[in-house]
Amino acid sequence: MRQSQKQQRKQRRNRGMTLIEIMVVITILGLIAAAVGVAVIPQLEAARRDRAALDIKNIQGAMKLYYTKKGKYPDTASGLQALVEAQALEQMPKDPWNNDYVYINEGGKPVIISYGADGASGGEGNDADISSADAATSAKK
């Protein structure tokens, strides 16, 4: 009898996982994924806004280079394409939401804008505009 009990135990061990055990593991993995998602998604949006602000600073650097070469900033009609043509930028930049940056030059003071996640002027939170004028204002404070 002793031999048959050993064989039965061995067979039970080799059987694999039961459906309930698999469901418990899947539930635990789902809970972990949900917790990570809740923590990561807000950070992703903050990172996009930070990247847009850094892109605007890089474009401003290209603007200074353009100004040094040409003695003036591009007009609004030429836009950022003038920086590419003057080789101050390698390519037309896109914001983190894959929209074009908006360039406005009225009165000799150029402004670069990302309209945020919604791609439209105005908005709050992730849809809020990010502007080089805002960066200059916050740097003075």
Domain ranges in the chain?
A: 41-139
Q: For position 126, what pLDDT does the model report? A: 83
- Given this model, what pLDDT does residue 139 score? 45
What's the pLDDT at 111? 95
The pLDDT assigned to 108 comes to 76
| pLDDT score, position 4 | 72
Q: What is the pLDDT of residue 20?
A: 92
Residue 58 pLDDT grade (very low, low, confident, very high; cuts 50, 70, 90): very high
Q: How far apart are CA 113 and CA 134, in angstroms?
A: 9
pLDDT tier for residue 2 given thresholds of 50, 70 and 90:
low
- pTM for the complete prediction? 0.70
- Among 3.90.1150.10, 3.40.50.720, 3.30.700.10, 3.40.50.2300, name the CATH number for the domain at 41-139: 3.30.700.10
pLDDT confidence of residue 141: 41
55, pLDDT greater than 90: yes
- Res 82: pLDDT: 93
CB 54 within 8 A of CB 60: no
